[in-house]
Chains A and B, each alone.
Chain A
Amino acid sequence: MRLTICHLYASGMNVYGDRGNVIVLAQRCRWRDIEVRIVERGVGETDPMHDYDLIIAGGGQDRDQIAVSDDLQGVAGVALRNAIEDDVVLLAICGTYQLLGHYFKTGGGVVLPGIGVFDAWTEAGSRRFIGDTLVKTNLHDKEGRTLELVGFENHSGRTFLKLGCEALGTTVIGAGNNGEDNREGAVYRNAFGTYLHGPILPKNPSFADELIRRAVARRYGTDSARTLPPLDDSAELNAHRRIVDRIQRRGRVKSGAT
């Protein structure tokens, strides 16, 4: 089996270690003898995207987000929307998550249009939400247990999901989308958006496998997806548990940014 991972906007939206998500997916595939091809795709490229099996996009700085918004108003946005409608698996973090909604309104009142794949919008707020975050999702692992995600959020954008837009989960600890409605992230078909950095996948191996399984199912059928061999996740789960324990012991770790 072979999967193609597209690292989208890698050179601009790469400020928070989110390339780790690509590394984790690629390795978890290779450890299962699934061949992996990684394609980096930037602003200005116009090829269709539905041949990718996974599209991974990270967070970035303001000026890079403007460039991405511009790019998505053209052919690239159409290609991305088509790919998502075609059930390509996608994980978008922070700045790219925001642009999968209808728009992002900056602190200065500038509106950056998105592609409206998530029925949601984002506005910059005055506070920055920074710290460890624990999210209870609606997903389940192979044993049927609810997936809880641990990560680190760092955003001043407040995302609001419209009625009918599915969230990734509810926040157990942390602000989540907007610090008000307890929801975190968004889901549409196989596209996931979230504010969780960390990066998100290393300490949430079941979620990484959920993405891989959906990609395998789409290209090779549900039987292949179901029979994906398990991996030894003791290191990842250990790291996950340490953070959860620490949050429970002393509350979420923040930092001194404004």
Chain B
Amino acid sequence: MRLTSAVAAGKIARVVSRRLGLGGGSSVPGVVAARVDPDALGKLASGLPFGSLLVTGTNGKTTTSRILAAILREAGWHPVHNRTGANLASGLTTALLESANLVGRNRADCALFEVDEAVMPRIREQVRPRVIVLTNLFRDQLDRYGEVDYVASLWQRSLLSLPRDVTVAVNADDPALAALGQRLRSRVLFYGISAPGSNSLDRFADSKDCPICGQPLQYTVVRYAHLGTYACPSGDFRRPTPDITVQSIATRGLDETIIESTGPFGARRWTLKIPGLFNVYNLLAAVAGATALGVSGDAIDRAVATFQAAFGRFERLEVDGRIVYFALVKNPVGMTEVLRTILHEPGDKGFVILINDNLADGTDVSWLWDADLELLGNRCQFAVVGGTRVGDIAVRLKYAGVPPERISTVESIAEGLDAGLGSIGAGGTLYVLPTYTAMFELRQIATRRGFAGRFWEN
């Protein structure tokens, strides 16, 4: 009875908040429902015949979840998936409410939840997932969590108590996660990259000491930041052999990443239509999650072949005769990888960099100084900068070696986009790098002007 009232209240809240234009009601219905029945999330989730999957970690949750949702749909399932950014309990509840009827029975048959890394333990208890996918652990949003170690210890405490019939998909290339995976009693599926690579260590490694004895790990290959192939010189710890792995990666510009992989599904060749090494990891994480559920390799093949970028995640749009790539930036590792991916292609590039410091972006923008903007130095044709922290990003670029005459500041997001389009000229390619809330504003502009690829990301 309580659940029914909670669901009804939530559904009404959703209608009201949509009418009032309160940002699509991504979390409000869930908040309302939880007020009426604090157990709403758990009860709604337990009604799903094929259970729930959680995807969590610092970077890659959204893309991993979207690939995984596509794979599940190709396998004939009907997952309900929470909206990007709505990855706290209220957002998950909202997602379930949308497909639930008044007694809480759901049209969907499973739930795929992208979960904020600090909240995962609490969600895990309420939702009781069958599969948990761990992407990686990096520094992110320091002002929210205060310390990186805090999240790692939260996860450890939560996951050590998992029952044996839950599968955890773990990134073998992330030392802290690999060590955690080795300690779990539940079933673990390791994934990682085994293609040839180099071993110059990145500055970011905030987890490059042996999790067992604390000595610095030795890397034979570094993929990026602290991800790679590593071993402790004392012999007490090394990268576990992945169950699902990639042996070769080739790229065709920013439009295709060609991957050869092996796993329980045999040997496969996938062409992923989004760029970046970090997306190879996202694909692996999704494949591991799907494999844990027994999904066939053919369903994976079909999903990968048709997968497209989400708005703001290296999405390519055509605007006024220009090609524009939008790539969200939010922490040092992510921003550095975005830049590295773009600059992998020869030539100087034109950029629009929009840095906001609203709550969802992180109010401390010092991460800009940990990002490797020096990569831009002399490869930057122009940089239009904007956002609430326009002053800071302009200074950062100056010290990164971008000639001051190539840096211009704007006072609004729309002005930034237009200045970039103007500077790149017809037929050119523009790279727009916004933080989270700047990305939302760009999406509104895109919709108003009619060049959005899809309306409201799903």
Contact = CB atoms under 8 A, between A and B. Distances in A.
A16 B364 contact: yes
Interface in B155-183: none
Counting chain B CB atoms within 10 Å of each CB, which of A17, A62, A63, A240 scores highest?
Answer: A17
Contacts of B391: 203, 235, 238-243
Contact of B142 (A11, A16, A62, A63): A16
Nearest to A28: B399
Interface stretch (B25-33, B143-151, B277-285): B143-151
Interface stretch (B191-199, B292-300, B336-344, B366-374): B366-374
B328 interface: no
A15 interface: yes
B366 A20 contact: yes
B390 A242 contact: yes
A253 interface: yes
A37 interface: no
A62 B142 CA distance: 14
A110 interface: no
Interface size class of A (residues with CB under 8 A): 35 or more
B359 A256 contact: yes
Interface in B213-264: none
Chain B interface main SS type: helix
Given A17-B367, A17-B369, A255-B363, A239 B148 contact: no
A159 to B, nearest CB: 18
Given A238-B391, A253-B363, A256-B359, A63 B146 contact: no
B143 A255 contact: yes
Interface in B118-155: 139, 142-149
B394 interface: yes
B366 A17 contact: yes
B12 interface: no
Interface string B197-209: 0000000011000
B395 A239 contact: yes
A253 B357 CA distance: 9
A236 B145 contact: no
Interface string A129-155: 010000000000000000000001010
Nearest to B404: A235
B398 interface: yes
A61 B362 CA distance: 18
Interface in B334-365: 357, 359, 362-364
Given A61-B149, A203-B392, A255-B364, 20 more contacts: A14-B370, A17-B370, A20-B370, A27-B399, A61-B148, A62-B147, A197-B366, A202-B392, A203-B391, A232-B404, A235-B395, A239-B391, A239-B394, A253-B357, A255-B144, A255-B359, A255-B362, A256-B144, A256-B359, A258-B146
Interface of A: 11, 14-20, 23-24, 27, 61-63, 128, 130, 152, 154, 197-199, 202-203, 232, 235-236, 238-243, 253-258
Interface of B: 139, 142-149, 205-206, 357, 359, 362-364, 366-370, 390-392, 394-396, 398-399, 404, 407
